[in-house]
C-alpha cells in the first residue's frame, strides 16, 4: 500500500462529476438499445419470452450454475431464496446492520425476524459479533456481498456450520465478484442479484435474478416466480408471486452484459487510482484495494470510504462539482428504531457518522478520478 500522496497530472479546470450518470447509461449504447427495444416491442414479446430465457442462460453460463431466474427485483429474489431455505414464521435470521433495508425486509416478508449483527472495517459482515445473537429460533445467516466485495465466506461457512444455519446470500451488489475463485451468488442455498439502474449490471427500471444450483429447488423457484404455476401443465401447484423479470428489461441487459467484463475491469482500474492517490491520508479509511488479496476479485459496485470531517469534506467536494452520497441515507438498519430489531452493531454505529460513497461507475474517466483525488488531498492537506 502506497504511503505517498501522488500528485495528479489532471488539469485544475472545474468539472461536473455527479455521483451517478443515468442519462449516460442510455447514451453509451443508444443505437443498440433502440434497435433491441424496437425488436421486442414489434414482436409483442413482453412476458416470459425468449429474450428472458436467453439472458438467464447467459447469466447461468457466466456464473457456472444450473439455474438462473430473472425476477422482478433483488428484494423478491431474496424473499424467494429465504423460502427455498425453508425460513418461515417464527424463525430468526442473522443479517448485518450495514446493508439495504431490503435484506431485512425479505426476512420479514417470509414471516421471520431479522436480527442484526455488526460489520468490520472493510464494511463486510463480522460473524464474531453474531455469536451472542444466535438462539434456538435462528435458522439462517445472510452474508451481504456489499459494495461488490465478497465476505470472508470461509468464516461465514464455519459460523453457519457451528450453529447449524443455512446460508442465504445477499449478492445483490456483487455480480462478477469472486471469493477464492467462486462467484458471489453461488454460495449457500440460493443467491440474488439486483438490476436496479445504478447496479453494475442495471436495467432501465427494476429487475433481479435468483440463482439456484439445485434442480429440486429450481423447480420450486420457477413456480414461485410465476404465480405458483407449473410451467408444463399451467396448473397452480402452490401460492406464488408475480415476480417475473420483464422481457424487454432482459433484452436490454443482454446488450449491456456483452460489455460486462470490460466495465468491471474499468471500475477496478478506477479503484486502483483511488487507492494509489489516497492511501497515504490518515483521515480516510479506504476499502481494500483491487490487488489487496489473491482470495478476492472485487468489482467495486461502490467505493465506500470512512472520512474524518465527513460533512465539511462533502461540502468541499460539492463546491468542486463532485457528487457524493451516503448509502441508504446514512443509516444502519438498527438505527430505524420503529423496526425494533435486536442487534449488536457497535462498529456500524460509529461508522454511520463517517461513511460515504465516492463516485464510482464505468462512465467515469481516470482523469475524473484524479480530479476527485486532487480535491480530497487539497481538503486534508491544503
Ligand atoms: C445489498 C442490497 N440488498 C438488496 C437490494 C434490493 O434490490 P432491489 O432494489 O432490486 O429490490 C439492494 C438494492 O439496492 C442491495 O443493494
Distance CA 275, CA 40 (A): 43
Cα–Cα nearest to 297, from 257, 256, 268, 260: 268
pLDDT computed for residue 275 by the predictor? 98
Looking at the CA of residue 73, tell me the nearest atom of ligand 1: 10
CA of 32 to the centre of ligand 1 (A): 27
Task: Report the b/e string of 136-165 with b at 16+ CB within 10 A.
Answer: eebbbbbbbbbbbbbbbbeebbebbeebeb
Share of the chain above pLDDT 90, in %: 96
Half-sphere exposure for 193 (CA within 13 Å, toward CB)? 31
Tell me the pLDDT tens digit for each residue of 241-277: 999 999 999 999 999 999 999 999 999 999 999 999 9
Nearest CA to ligand 1 atom 8: 74
Q: What is the dihedral of CA 144, 288, 324, 26, to 10 degrees?
A: -70
Burial of 203 (0-12, 13-18, 19+ CB in 10 A): buried
Distance CA 224, CA 220 (A): 6
Looking at the CA of residue 196, tell me the nearest atom of ligand 1: 10
Looking at the CA of residue 75, tell me the nearest atom of ligand 1: 11
Q: Is the pLDDT of residue 11 over 70?
A: no
Distance CA 66, CA 129 (A): 34
Q: Is the pLDDT of residue 5 over 80?
A: no
Tell me the pLDDT tens digit for each residue of 206-239: 999 999 999 999 999 999 999 999 999 999 999 9
Instruction: Confirm or reject: Cβ of 208 under 6 Å from ligand 1.
Output: yes
From 71, 144, 171, 196, mutation site for ligand 1 pocket: most ligand atoms within 8 A of C-beta = 196
How many CB atoms sit inside 10 A of residue 296's CB?
21
CA of 100 to the centre of ligand 1 (A): 6
Distance CA 338, CA 134 (A): 22
Q: Is the pLDDT of residue 111 over 50?
A: yes
pLDDT computed for residue 382 by the predictor? 86
Instruction: Confirm or reject: Cβ of 297 under 6 Å from ligand 1.
Output: no
Evaluated on CA atoms 236, 237, 242, 243, the torsion sign reads negative
Confidence of residue 12 (pLDDT cuts 50, 70, 90): low
pLDDT computed for residue 8 by the predictor? 53
The residue whose grid cell reads 466485495 is: 149
Confidence of residue 14 (pLDDT cuts 50, 70, 90): confident
CA of 319 to the centre of ligand 1 (A): 30
Contacts of 294 (CB under 8 A, 6+ apart): none
Q: CA-CA distances (angstroms) from residue 132 to 112, 116, 159, 186?
A: 19, 11, 12, 27
Farthest CA pair distance, the chain: 70
Instruction: Confirm or reject: Cβ of 74 under 6 Å from ligand 1.
Output: yes
**Per-residue cell: 258:** 456483452
Amino acid at each position: 500500500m502506497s504511503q505517498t500522496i501522488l500528485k495528479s497530472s489532471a488539469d485544475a479546470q472545474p468539472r461536473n462529476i455527479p455521483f451517478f450518470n443515468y442519462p449516460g447509461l442510455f447514451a453509451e449504447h443508444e443505437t443498440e438499445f433502440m434497435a433491441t427495444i424496437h425488436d421486442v416491442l414489434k414482436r409483442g414479446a413482453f412476458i416470459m419470452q425468449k429474450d428472458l430465457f436467453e439472458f438467464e442462460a447467459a447469466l447461468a453460463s457466466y456464473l457456472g450454475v444450473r439455474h438462473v431466474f430473472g425476477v422482478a427485483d433483488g428484494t423478491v429474489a431474496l424473499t424467494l431464496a429465504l423460502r427455498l431455505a425453508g425460513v418461515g414464521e417464527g424463525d430468526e435470521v442473522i443479517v448485518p446492520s450495514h446493508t439495504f433495508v431490503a435484506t431485512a425486509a425479505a426476512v420479514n416478508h417470509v414471516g421471520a425476524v431479522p436480527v442484526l449483527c455488526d460489520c468490520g472495517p472493510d464494511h463486510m459482515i463480522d460473524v464474531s459479533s453474531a455469536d451472542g445473537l444466535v438462539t434456538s429460533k435462528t435458522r439462517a445467516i445472510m452474508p451481504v456481498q456489499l459494495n461488490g466485495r465478497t465476505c470472508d465466506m470461509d468464516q461465514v461457512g464455519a459460523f453457519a456450520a457451528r450453529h447449524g444455519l443455512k446460508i442465504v446470500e445477499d449478492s445483490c451488489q456483487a455480480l462478477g465478484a469472486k471469493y477464492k475463485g467462486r462467484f458471489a451468488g453461488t454460495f449457500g442455498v440460493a443467491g440474488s442479484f439486483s438490476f436496479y439502474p445504478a447496479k453494475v449490471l442495471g436495467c432501465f427500471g427494476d429487475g433481479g435474478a435468483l440463482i439456484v444450483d439445485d434442480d429440486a429447488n429450481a423447480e420450486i423457484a420457477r413456480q414461485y416466480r410465476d404465480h405458483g404455476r407449473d410451467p408444463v401443465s399451467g396448473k397452480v401447484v402452490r401460492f406464488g408471486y408475480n415476480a417475473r423479470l420483464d422481457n424487454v428489461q432482459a433484452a436490454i441487459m443482454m446488450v449491456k452484459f456483452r460489455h460486462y467484463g470490460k466495465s468491471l475491469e474499468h471500475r477496478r482500474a478506477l479503484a486502483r487510482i483511488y487507492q494509489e492517490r489516497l492511501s497515504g491520508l490518515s483521515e480516510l479509511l479506504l476499502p481494500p484495494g483491487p490487488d489487496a488479496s489473491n482470495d478476492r476479485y472485487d468489482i467495486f459496485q461502490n467505493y465506500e470510504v470512512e472520512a474524518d470531517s465527513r460533512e465539511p469534506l462533502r461540502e468541499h467536494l460539492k463546491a468542486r462539482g463532485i457528487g457524493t452520497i451516503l448509502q441508504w441515507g446514512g443509516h444502519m438498519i438498527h438505527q430505524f428504531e420503529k423496526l425494533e430489531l435486536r442487534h449488536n452493531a457497535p462498529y456500524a454505529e460509529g461508522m454511520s457518522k463517517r461513511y460515504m460513497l465516492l463516485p464510482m461507475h464505468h462512465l467515469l474517466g481516470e482523469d475524473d478520478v484524479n480530479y476527485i483525488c486532487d480535491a480530497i488531498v487539497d481538503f486534508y492537506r491544503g
